[in-house]
Structure 1
Amino acid sequence: MDIGYTVEQLRAAVADAVRAPSLHNTQPWRFRLCDGGIDLAVDPTRRLPATDPTGWGARLSCGAALHNLRLALAVAGAPATVRLRPYPGEPDVAARLVPDLPRRATPTERSLHAAVPRRFSNRAPFWPDPVPADVRWRLGEAARVEQCWLELVIGASAVSAFAEIAGSAHRVLERDPAYRAERTAWTRIGPATDGVPAAAGGPRAEPQDLLPSRGFGALDRAPGRDFEPEPLVAVLISAGNTATDQLVAGQALQRVLLTATDAGLGASLLSQPIEVPGARERLRRSLGRFGTPQMVLRIGYGQPGRPTPRRPLDEVLDLPVTRP
């Protein structure tokens, strides 16, 4: 039996892990081979002090990267056992993966893994076609499998109430000069390996828009291409809000996003009502749910697009190490 993962297995799995989403596409993760296991850590140098002062977003992103790691290793026939936050003295290490008993990947694992390179944040308007009930069930089941739940905001009045919460949070954030400067610093005009390309940032916001947009985009929308009047909004909720809960939520988020991609859907993330504590609490109360909202998604059928750039693997990998 193999005693651990190899550098080749690490590189192959990390190539998929880095396809996870992150706030402003900061890619706040590092990976290392340690005593035959793979350690995934939050990279504190890529945190967003104004947008993500608590590190919630970075941990959510690392949870999403962890889900991709799990899928990649499973499809390669080398599934992992995962320990979250394994080293009390190293709080930035989010997870440790060690080899489990070899087995064949399940059909679901293969389908989700195939969706990894096709997933991207679609910030453009979606088509008016409704998401079928069976697909909505699949999205909810994806969250449940990862120990979270997905609350769908259904109906014009419920969506309008959510839009008021999201818009209020957006206005609070926009009043902060540091927040605006941070967004500008991570908006990319030319070629880049991180940040959000302006061309992928969605169209410029207009007064008739129901939901707020982050403001990365610099493109005028085509005539008649307003955002959908009643979008499918989904709120991802975890049982608690500890660092471990956030890592669990990140894995659930990625499974939901990959399930949506596999079903031919697009999705974009609306984190403004999560970033403002008062708005997050209002959102929780409006849903009447136990737990903590961790992310909001806008889901629908949209135009094809392409994923945003990713940094070279050598920039996120550390040499194999041995713990004392």
Structure 2
Amino acid sequence: MPSFHLSNALARDLIGQAVLAPSSHNTQPWRFRLSASAIDVLADRRRALPVNDPDDRELTISCGCALMNLRIAAARRELGTETTLLPDAADPDWLARMSFVASAGAPADQAALAEAIPLRHSCRHPFEPIAIPAAAPPRLVAAAAAEGAWLRPLAEAGARTQLASLVTEGDTAQWADTRWRRELAAWMHPRQQGDGLSVPALAASLTQLLVRTFNLGEGMAARDRTLAESAPLLAVLGTDEDSPRHWLQAGQALQRVLLVACRLGLQAAYLNQPVQVARLRPVLHQLTGGDCAQLVLCLGYPRAPPAASPRRPLIEVIEMSC
């Protein structure tokens, strides 16, 4: 199939959609390398979280979310694409290549999600106490399956209570770790900085000091338990195996789930402590009956429109192929 010449303007437009993907602590750990007919997705390990994410698992999942946005943005423009994961075993930072080919067709199911990309935001406030329609969870399960992952909604009260207990145990373990608190504080920035967890500019230094200095685990555990137990939909997303390739699949599946949910009026919050704390992950696997849990999601109708997280300028994430 003949290649398609990718102009710089079109590439920037596509990448502008890709970078709207979610990432841990809003680190935005991706770079994009342009050539005449392809966009490479690269891991930016300078933006890694070695305490929270020692294996760069969540970093890779975040890049998978960006890759899914890139695929959807291309489909909306009816561009033919071919995606290769981990193109070069000798270069672990090169996570994916999206090649563009001259084609009039593009997956309609992907193109339909494009309008949700700028509307999807992480929810940091309680959800409305409104039940989700029964038809919604199967659509989200199917969205994950389309990308080679699984999504397990936890509907039974006992399972939700067990997961809430794992979340609170994870909160306690993380906040007791001074290294983890320092890492979290380092990513708390005023909004104008373009990345990180946004805090008011005048209070940024004080907030960082409080997080670094004090163990706030008890309060955070109570808040997160309430969120887990009250969320209209509590679900675990996972994969059959646990490798960088599967993390990329998990990221693409997560983003598809989030965009399908957004089209239904739903937004997501994350309670990933049972995955991040290594000793809790096997317990989570037993609870879900899955092989490799990757993320814990709360979904519901937000009480107010969630604010968009700041984004780095495109010039910081784009490089040209030699």
Tell me whether the two structures share a fold, i.e. TM-score over 0.5: yes
Deviation at 1:74, TM superposition (A): 1.2
C-alpha distance in structure 2 between counterparts of 1:184 and 1:52, whole Å:
15
**229 and 165 in structure 1: CA distance in 2 versus 1, 3 angstrom threshold:** closer
In 1, Cα distance between equivalents of 2:179 and 2:134: 42
What's 2:123 paired with? 122
Instruction: After TM superposition, give the deviation of residue 205 of structure 1 in Å.
Output: 8.7
Q: Is the 8 A contact 1:210 1:229 kept in 2?
A: no
Task: Give the residue type in structure 2 aligned to 1:10.
Answer: A
Which residue type is aligned with residue 171 of structure 1? T
What do residues 38-89 of structure 1 show as CA deviations (whole Å, max 9, x unaligned)? 1100001111111111100110000000000001111112131111010122
> What is the match of residue 247 of structure 1?
248
User: Could you tell me how far apart the structure 1 residues matched to 2:57 and 2:134 are?
Assistant: 31
Task: Give CA-to-partner distance per residue, 1:270-297, whole Å, 9 cap, x none.
Answer: 22111111111110011222x2001111
- Cα distance between partner residues in 2 of 1:174 and 1:196: 17
Is residue 2:71 matched to residue 1:70? Answer: yes
Distance 2:13 2:198 in 1: 26
Question: What is aligned with 1:300?
Answer: 300
Q: What is the one-letter code of the residue matched to 1:294?
A: Q
Kept after mapping to 2: 8 A contact 1:33/1:320 = yes
Contact 2:4 2:101 in 1 (8 A): no
Give how far 1:109 is off. 2.2
Distance 2:105 2:116 in 1: 18
Partner of 2:24: 23
Matches of 1:61 and 1:273, distance apart in 2? 18
Question: Which SS does the other structure have where 2:282 is aligned?
Answer: helix
Distance in 2 between the 1:205 and 1:133 partners? 35
Q: Aligned-pair distance for 1:208? A: 9.8
Q: Which residue of 2 aligns with 1:220?
A: none
1:53 maps to what in 2? Answer: 54
Contact 2:160/2:229 (8 A) holds in 1: no
Distance 1:306 1:103, change over 3 A: farther
Partner in structure 2 of residue 236 of structure 1: 237
- Mapped partners of 1:92, 1:109: distance in 2: 26
Matches within 5 A, 1:72-221: 72-198=73-199, 212=224
Name the aligned partner's letter for residue 299 of structure 1: L
The secondary structure found in structure 2 opposite 1:19 is: coil
Q: Secondary structure at the match of 1:240?
A: coil
Does structure 2 conserve the Cα–Cα contact (< 8 Å) formed by 1:13 and 1:73? yes
* Alignment-derived partner of residue 311 in structure 2: 310
2:264 counterpart of 1:263: yes
Aligned residue for 1:221?
Answer: none
- Cα 1:207–1:126, aligned 2, differ >3 Å: closer, same or farther? same
User: Higher mean Cα deviation, 280-289 or 65-74?
Assistant: 280-289
| CA distance in 1 between partners of 2:114 and 2:257 (Å) | 12
SS at match of 1:133: coil
**Contact residue 118 and residue 306 of structure 1 kept, 8 A:** no
Tell me: CA distance 1:190–1:134, structure 2 relative to 1, closer, same or farther (3 Å).
closer
CA 13–208 in structure 1, closer or farther in 2 if over 3 Å, else same = closer
Are the counterparts in 2 of residues 159 and 230 from structure 1 also a CA contact under 8 Å? Answer: no
Note if contact 2:124-2:306 (Cα within 8 Å) is conserved in structure 1. Answer: no
Are residues 312 and 21 of structure 1, via their aligned partners in 2, closer, same or farther at CA, if it must alter by over 3 Å?
A: same
Distance verdict in 2 for CA 1:205–1:127, change over 3 Å: farther
CA separation in 2, counterparts of 1:98 and 1:107? 18
TM-score, length basis structure 2: 0.89
Q: Which runs of 5+ in 2 are unaligned?
A: 201-215
Matched residue SS, 2:238: strand
- Which residue matches 1:223? none
Distance in 1 of aligned mates of 2:173 and 2:218: 18
Q: Distance in 1 between matches of 2:305 and 2:100?
A: 37
- Give the CA RMSD over aligned residues: 2.1
Residue 206 of structure 2: aligned partner: none
- State the 1:175 CA deviation: 1.4
The answer to whether the Cα contact below 8 Å between 1:128 and 1:228 also exists between their aligned partners in 2 is no
Work out the CA distance in 2 between the residues paired with 1:227 and 1:145.
Answer: 28
- What residue ranges of structure 1 are gaps of 5+ in the alignment? 214-225
The Cα shift of 1:194 comes to 0.3
Counting matched residue pairs gives 304
Secondary structure (helix, strand or coil) at the match of 1:191 reads helix
Do structure 1's residue 288 and structure 2's residue 300 form an aligned pair? no
* CA spacing shift, 1:88–1:107, aligned 2, 3 Å: closer
TM-score (norm 1): 0.88
Deviations 1:228-270 (A, max 9, x none): 8532211001011111000010000000011111110011122
Aligned equivalents of 1:150, 1:240: Cα separation in 2: 14
What secondary structure is seen at the aligned counterpart in 1 of 2:298? Answer: strand
1:13 equivalent in structure 2? 14
After superposition, the Cα gap between the structure-2 partners of 1:190 and 1:110, relative to the gap in structure 1 and judged at 3 Å, is: closer
Rate the CA distance shift 1:31–1:207 in 2: closer, same or farther, 3 A: closer
